[in-house]
A and B are shown apart, each in its own frame.
Chain A
Amino acid sequence: MDSFAVVLLSPEVAAAGDLTGRLEALERALSAAQSSADNAWMLTSAALVLLMTGPGLALFYGGLVRRKNVLATMMHSFILMAVASVLWAVVGYSLAFGGSGRFLGDLRFAFLSAVGNELQGTIPHATFVVYQLMFAIITPALISGAFAERIKFSAMLLFTALWSLLVYYPLAHMVWGPGGILNAFADGRIPCLDFAGGTVVHVSSGVSALVCALYLGKRLGYPSEAMKPHNLVMSVTGACLLWVGWFGFNAGSALAASRQAASAFLATQLGAAAATLGWMLAEWLKSGKPSMLGAITGAVAGLVAITPASGFVRPMPALVIGFAAGVLCFYMVAVVKHRLGYDDSLDAFGVHGVGGTVGAILTGIFATRAVVDPTSERAFGWVDGNPVQVLYQLAGTAVAWVLAAAGTVVSLKICDRVVGVRVEPEHEIQGLDLSLHGEEAYSYET
């Protein structure tokens, strides 16, 4: 109400002569005030989401690899901040959010033509473009956890570009784009609730990570040689930055500084907290010790799982979702992975694929209009009396699984043909920092 009082007193309103004129001026001033508030939060959120990739993910992953591969691993995240941005400006944004196709956008915004500062909802179009760009950066960066320590840099560049075109842009369009077949807010045929990217970001990157791990094969010496994390302090720092950045990711997905953003913010915190405890307890019971690496991995698993639900669920379900993700992802990473024997170097699948799937399904159970809009007639999830939503969530998740797996196989095959995916064994033994980038992270001579 404070802003309303300011508007009433503003010279512009007072100067506009008759009553109609004054009312119109008032409306304009009000919407300008709301737009400013929303725009401020959304630009902040965009910056927070970028913080998740670099330094967040770069540190998190960088600490987990061996010292000879730390720069190559951080390079994966960092270079995507450049590659995905250029690709987004050229065609990505348009393919994801232009037009009203069911499966893919069109080229109306190619080269960001026709994108300016005009309002889209309450925020400038440019703000929306840059906010969504940050998601297009981190999603392929998440996959890099699966092929770390053995992929060629050229193959990684080509792969992530192809993968963005074949998987990310179509999936983002289907779930969030106008007319998308999975869009729950634009009459999609299969209305899949995904507030901030459970399917679009985490299921897609996690499943693609699994396919990459299987396609590339194990690192030389895995699992007999010790491949323990070379610097967990980096990983803890990175995980903390991920946690903080995630507020922009989830609460920003309200696309406004709204009440829904506030509940998404709270749900995000609670989901991360419960998952941290869930993973820690599971690990403590199974392995006998609660580890720092376990605690941070649990936090990330919880942040992943709460992502699709964050703007739709009350606080207690957020705790349930987080705790379930913490325990299940621990079981996946610490038990199932070793039984199956694949080498997902940094557990991108176990955390993002599994956490994303758990979150997507539980969103169908716990989503409620009470968080979105208490005056709405619409039943969201099972708790609102709409059990069929769980099936829609399963269907949406299945679409994401299939598209991610197929798109990844095609992208990898093309990369294999063009540049070859895996580095030479002698380069892998020497370490990618030196063999691919000609530098070392830690110098003992200086």
Chain B
Amino acid sequence: MKKIEAIIQPSKLEEVKQALIGIGVDGMTAIEVRGHGRQKGHKEIYRGHEYVVDLLPKLKLEIVVADSRVEEVVETLMRAARTGRIGDGKIFISHVEDAIRIRNADRGEAAL
């Protein structure tokens, strides 16, 4: 199993979600986060006082899937989350040791 963490533009959530549901991804977790990569922040001015906001609001989606589905999910994510502009986000993939469904103690891919 692999965990796919996708950091995306918050405005892209709905599109990404629909695309993932479309390819049959059963579960996902969305977390509101702040951060930046190569995209630097922006400037805000309140009554002449300048603030540089360098941690921008982003959305992190966590999806755990069977190894065989990773490429398909990544492609879908890239297609739905991409605007082509700086700040579109990143995808990280890592290995998942095990998964357990709390309700009935299913384990491994059966718990996904």
CB distance from A174 to the nearest CB of B (A): 33
Main secondary structure of the interface of B (DSSP, over half): strand
Chain B 41-54 per-residue mask, 1 if CB under 8 angstroms from chain A, else 0: 00011111101010
Is A297 a contact of B47 with CB atoms below 8 Å? yes
Query: A223, A226, A289, A293: which contacts B47 (Cβ < 8 A)?
Result: A293
With a CB–CB cut-off of 8 A, which chain B residues contact A337? 48
A212-243: CB near B (< 8 Å → 1, else 0) gives 00000000000100101100000000000000
Point out the residues of chain B lying under 8 angstroms from A28, CB to CB: none
Q: How far is the CA of A287 from the CA of B44 in the complex (A)?
A: 10
Residues on A with C-beta less than 8 A from B51 are: 226, 228
Secondary structure type dominating chain A contacts: helix
Residue of A nearest to B48 (CB): A334
Q: Which size class do A's interface residues fall under?
A: 10 to 19
Residue contact B46 to A223, C-beta cutoff 8 Å: no
> Is A32 an interface residue, CB under 8 A from the partner?
no
Within 8 A of A (CB), among B50-82: 51, 53
Q: Are the C-beta atoms of A333 and B48 separated by less than 8 Å?
A: yes
**How long is the Cα–Cα vector from A175 to B25 in the complex, in angstroms?**
75
Separation of A73 and B55 alpha carbons in the complex (Å) = 27
Give the contacting residue for B48; candidates A228, A229, A338; CB below 8 A.
Answer: A338
Residues of A within 8 A of B53 (CB): 226
A291 lies within 8 A of B46 (CB): yes
**B48 contacts across to A, CB distance below 8 A:** 286-287, 330, 333-335, 337-338
Tell me whether A338 and B46 are in contact (CB under 8 A): no
- Give the complex CA separation of A333 and B47 in angstroms: 7
- Is A433 among interface residues, defined by CB-CB distance under 8 A? no
Q: Encode A326-339 as 1/0 by CB contact (under 8 A) with B.
A: 00001001110110
Give the complex CA separation of A333 and B46 in angstroms.
10
A194 at the interface (CB under 8 A from B): no
Q: How far does the Cβ of B51 sit from chain A's closest Cβ, in whole Å?
A: 5
Residues of B with C-beta under 8 A to A289? 45
With an 8 A cutoff between CB atoms, is A347 at the interface? yes
Chain B residues, Cβ within 8 Å of A330: 48
Q: Does A294 contact B (CB under 8 A)?
A: yes
CB distance from B22 to the nearest CB of A (A): 32
Q: Which residue of A lies closest to B45 (CB)?
A: A287
B45 lies within 8 A of A291 (CB): yes
B43 to chain A, nearest CB (A): 10
State the CA gap A286–B48 with chains docked (Å). Answer: 9
Expressed in whole angstroms, the Cα–Cα distance for A335 and B44 within the complex equals 16
Nearest B residue to A279, CB-CB = B47
Of B46, B51, B53, most A-chain CB atoms within 10 Å: B46
Report B81 CB to chain A, min CB distance, Å: 27
Most A CB within 10 A of own CB, among B45, B51, B53:
B45
A-B contact pairs, 26 of them (CB 8 A): A223-B49, A226-B51, A226-B53, A228-B44, A228-B49, A228-B51, A286-B48, A287-B45, A287-B48, A289-B45, A291-B45, A291-B46, A293-B46, A293-B47, A294-B47, A297-B47, A330-B48, A333-B47, A333-B48, A334-B47, A334-B48, A334-B49, A335-B48, A337-B48, A338-B48, A347-B47
Please give the residue numbers on chain B whose beta carbons come within 8 Å of chain A beta carbons, in ascending order: 44-49, 51, 53
Which residues of A does B touch, CB under 8 Å? 223, 226, 228-229, 286-287, 289, 291, 293-294, 297, 330, 333-335, 337-338, 347
Q: Which 9 A-B pairs have the closest CB atoms?
A: A334-B48, A226-B51, A287-B45, A333-B47, A228-B46, A228-B51, A334-B47, A293-B46, A229-B46
